[in-house]
């Protein structure tokens, strides 16, 4: 082990020692030292820089797996443990992973053998394995960037971004920070987990599913002073009427934009609360701007704020007028390269500088506040989740029988409508079987609410 993660093992051990969890710990006695787990992982038949997929729920076990892989000189990649087994296997294959750790690891399509490392089940993968530089990690992109693709980052850059974010939202060693968003989201991994690590805050680890009343109760019971939510969870909290405890000093919101009316409602119900609205992208490492909404007049609540220290934002014309220009991000925390996509895509996003072409549209006011108005790419938001229509079409056409696919968002029903053009077998289209195979490759929020099959002889539709 060369400890390429740029994090001192002693610092990590002390950090994990401060960790508090909302869920009962897994039986089996106190965990072994992190360095011992890392040594066991390093004995696996995986080359330094090999990619390891980790599909575990928010837990101390997940943190130990992630940091253990870094100390073993592997490149960890976090995935949703609820993802379909074939989807985990497909992602691992596309990104050249050497192994899969997690509860659904056995679903791997081409296991090269199963092992144990500490309390972790490890499924080794046959086939192509990619290698990167030790001290790096891969963050999967959201639906705006498609399925089974990721961004390779230097861990040192992620920690730098975490320090900047912590400073922007006032996270300090005196805070107890609740991490309840899934850690496979870059917002939770970098902004919260690494933010707590670099600031010295005490982490309190929770996780999905979200229940407004239980969330408010946990904040009070654990003495939490700093927490984060997505806009859809803020809405659930407000609609439920759950009261935030007086001890909660600060709440940060990220993932998507929070509607100004919700911002006003949240501040009105919680006098004295520090409310930070943030904007970021996985490619940027991830946090870009922050709005301290509690210190701003209501007309600024439409904004995502100003860049965090060390980051600059500029605009370039895309032919849509001065209020809809593409947002460019200048930072030393940008991703190193795309993985799982052609290199031309990285080149289109990562401009010389380095500068990130975000695909987001917006404008800056005279004071330097950023306002977002949309995106250039074809993605939609379904029940608060981002879905790439391009990715959905690509997954559908990866099935042998599917010769073409069109996808659209039915805004009235808030579902995806997917049309498949199918070359039927001699006995006709096996709709049920084809549907099962397609859905096994899709996350729940990506599955179409209306799926239609077409061939030369017949048209069949079901919901």
Express each pLDDT in 378-437 by its tens digit.
Answer: 677 787 787 888 788 888 888 888 877 888 887 778 889 898 888 766 666 788 889 999
CA-based max dimension of the chain: 69
Residue range 283-299: average pLDDT?
97
Residue 28 has pLDDT above 70, yes or no: no
In whole angstroms, what is the distance from residue 326 CA to residue 320 CA?
Answer: 9
Predicted local confidence at residue 107, as pLDDT? 47
Task: Point out the least confidently predicted range of 7-16, 339-348, 439-448.
Answer: 339-348
Residue 5 has pLDDT above 70, yes or no: no
Residue 99 has pLDDT above 50, yes or no: yes
Predicted local confidence at residue 431, as pLDDT? 87
Residue 45 has pLDDT above 60, yes or no: yes
Judged by phi (left if over 0) then psi (alpha if -120 to 50, else beta), residue 278 lies in beta
| pTM of the complete model | 0.83
- Which of 247, 319, 222, 318 has the alpha carbon at shortest distance from 19? 222
Q: Are 78 and 61 in contact (CB under 8 A)?
A: no
Residue range 447-463: average pLDDT?
63
What is the percent of the chain where pLDDT is above 70? 90
* Tens digits of residue pLDDT in 337-378: 999 877 666 777 889 889 999 989 999 999 999 999 887 766
Residue range 27-47: average pLDDT?
89
Packing angle of the helix pair 9-18, 34-42 (nearest 10 deg): 120
User: Count of alpha carbons within 13 Å of 203, Cβ hemisphere only?
Assistant: 32
Residue range 129-154: average pLDDT?
82
Domains and CATH numbers, the chain: 9-134 (3.40.50), 155-375 (3.40.50.12780), 379-462 (3.30.300.30)
Predicted local confidence at residue 145, as pLDDT? 44
Residue 84 has pLDDT above 80, yes or no: yes
Q: Residues of 266-283 as b/e, b for ≥16 C-beta within 10 angstroms?
A: bbeebeebbbbbbbbbbb
In whole angstroms, what is the distance from residue 405 CA to residue 434 CA?
Answer: 14
Higher pLDDT, 425 or 201: 201
DSSP E strands: which ranges in 5-69?
A: 20-21, 51-55
* Tens digits of residue pLDDT in 85-96: 888 888 899 899
Residue 462 has pLDDT above 50, yes or no: no
DSSP E strands: which ranges in 193-310?
A: 202-205, 226-229, 250-253, 274-280, 287-292, 306-307
Contact residues for 341 (Cβ-Cβ < 8 A; gap 6+): 146, 149
Q: Are 181 and 230 in contact (CB under 8 A)?
A: yes
Please report where in the chains the tokens 């992109």 appear, as a residue. Answer: 141
Predicted local confidence at residue 445, as pLDDT? 86
Residue 109 has pLDDT above 70, yes or no: no
Task: Report CA dihedral (262, 266, 268, 269) to the nearest 10 degrees.
Answer: 130
Please report where in the chains the tokens 């930070």 appear, as a residue. Answer: 276
Predicted local confidence at residue 459, as pLDDT? 37
* Tens digits of residue pLDDT in 64-73: 999 999 999 9
Task: Point out the least confidently predicted range of 51-55, 101-105, 139-143.
Answer: 101-105
pLDDT category at 156 given cuts 50, 70, 90 is very high
Residue range 270-285: average pLDDT?
97
Residue range 306-334: average pLDDT?
96
Residue 186, burial from CB neighbour count under 10 angstroms (0-12, 13-18, 19+): buried
Predicted local confidence at residue 429, as pLDDT? 73
Residue 146 has pLDDT above 50, yes or no: no
Please report where in the chains the tokens 């996350």 appear, as a residue. Answer: 443
Residue range 20-46: average pLDDT?
87
Q: Which residues on adjacent β-strands are paired with residue 306? A: 290
In whole angstroms, what is the distance from residue 153 CA to residue 280 CA?
Answer: 15
In whole angstroms, what is the distance from residue 227 CA to residue 211 CA?
Answer: 15
- Which of 97, 143, 230, 101 has the alpha carbon at shortest distance from 442? 143
- Which of 200, 73, 24, 147 has the alpha carbon at shortest distance from 393? 147
């Amino acid at each position: 082990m060369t400890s390429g993660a740029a994090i001192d093992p002693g610092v990590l051990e002390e950090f994990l020692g401060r960790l508090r969890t909302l869920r009962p710990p897994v039986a089996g006695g106190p965990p072994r030292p992190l360095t011992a787990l890392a040594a066991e992982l390093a004995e696996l038949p995986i080359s330094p820089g090999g990619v390891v997929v980790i599909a575990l729920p928010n837990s101390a076990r997940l943190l130990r797996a992630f940091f253990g892989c870094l100390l073993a000189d592997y490149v960890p990649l976090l995935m949703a443990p609820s993802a379909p087994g074939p989807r985990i296997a497909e992602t691992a294959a596309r990104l050249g992973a050497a192994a899969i750790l997690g509860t659904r690891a056995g679903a791997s399509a081409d296991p090269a053998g199963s092992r144990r490392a500490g309390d972790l089940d490890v499924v080794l993968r046959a086939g192509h394995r990619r290698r990167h530089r030790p001290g790096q990690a891969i963050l999967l992109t959201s639906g705006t960037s498609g399925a089974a693709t990721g961004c390779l980052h230097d861990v040192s850059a992620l920690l730098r971004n975490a320090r900047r974010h912590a400073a922007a939202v006032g996270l300090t060693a005196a805070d107890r920070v609740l991490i309840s968003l899934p850690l496979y989201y870059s917002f939770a991994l970098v902004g919260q987990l690494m933010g707590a690590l670099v600031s010295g805050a005490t982490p309190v680890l929770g996780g999905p599913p979200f229940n407004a009343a239980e969330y408010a109760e946990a904040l009070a019971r654990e003495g939490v002073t700093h927490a984060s939510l997505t806009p859809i969870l803020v809405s659930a909290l407000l609609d439920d009427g759950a009261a935030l405890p007086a001890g909660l000093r600060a709440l940060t919101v990220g993932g998507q934009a929070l509607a100004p009316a919700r911002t006003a409602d949240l501040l009105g119900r919680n006098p004295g609360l520090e409310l930070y609205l943030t904007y970021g992208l996985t490619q940027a490492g991830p946090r870009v701007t922050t709005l301290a909404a509690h210190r701003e007049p209501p007309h600024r609540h439409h904004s995502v704020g100003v860049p965090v220290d060390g980051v600059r934002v500029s605009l370039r014309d895309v032919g849509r007028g001065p209020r809809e220009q593409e947002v460019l991000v200048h930072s030393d925390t940008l991703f190193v390269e795309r993985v799982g996509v052609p290199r031309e895509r990285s080149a289109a996003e990562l401009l010389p500088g380095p500068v990130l072409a975000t695909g987001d549209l917006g404008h800056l006011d005279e004071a330097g506040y950023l306002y977002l108005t949309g995106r250039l790419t074809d993605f939609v938001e379904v029940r608060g989740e981002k879905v790439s229509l391009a990715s959905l079409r690509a997954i559908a056409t990866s099935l042998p029988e599917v010769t073409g696919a069109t996808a659209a968002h039915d805004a009235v029903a808030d579902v995806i409508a997917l049309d498949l053009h199918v070359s039927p077998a001699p006995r006709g289209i096996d709709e049920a079987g084809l549907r099962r195979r397609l859905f096994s490759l899709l996350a729940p929020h990506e599955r179409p609410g209306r799926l239609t099959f077409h061939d030369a002889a017949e048209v069949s539709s079901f919901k």
